[in-house]
Amino acid sequence: MKLLEQMEERIFDMEKVAKTFNIEPFDMYFLGGSACILGQYTDRATRDFDFIDLDYPTKLGRVFVQLREFDMLDYKSTLISPKYKERATKLNKFKYINVYILSSEDIIISKVTRMEKKDFEDIDVLIKTADKALLNQIADEILERGDLYKPERDEFIKKLSMFREKYNV
């Protein structure tokens, strides 16, 4: 079974559990490698799911556990624009949980401070079709955030110039 199908199956399992326990439908915004696979931006192998913590209630734990490996990312420590929801794409194959993937540009910018080998590999693929003006806009939106933790902001500023030089952004 392909990785995309395996990841989708886990989300379908989440939907089943949510229905079984009468949990109201909710939104999920995926980023990172899982979003790249679910959005078919890249096919790099990953098993974990990264999504933004929308202040979920604890009762959703029994739903999230269906993902097995996941990282629920705190907004204040994650390099995403406050406008990420406007650019996100809803995956309509999921009927109960509202599953969104961030735009490729939002994903690229979210990887700026990590710059590990796998991040460069993802960016190298995503940058080919990315809107460079939008990348700069997203970077500016992040820099304008007043709620971003200072260490993350400082690291972003430090690495942003390297990113812009490497990718001619």
Structure confidence by residue, pLDDT tens digits, 54-91 = 999 999 999 999 999 999 999 999 999 999 999 999 99
Instruction: Pick the more confident residue, 43 or 154.
Output: 154
Residue 47 has pLDDT above 90, yes or no: no
Residue 1 has pLDDT above 70, yes or no: no
Cα distances from 132 to residues 32, 110, 126, 128, 157, in angstroms, run: 19, 14, 11, 10, 18
pLDDT at 21: 95
- For 138-167, what is the mean pLDDT? 94
- What percent of the chain is predicted at pLDDT more than 70? 99
- Token look-up 């690495």 returns 159
Domains annotated for the chain, with CATH where assigned, are 3-167 (3.30.460)
Q: In 10 A of CB 14, how many CB atoms? A: 25
d(CA 91, CA 115): 28
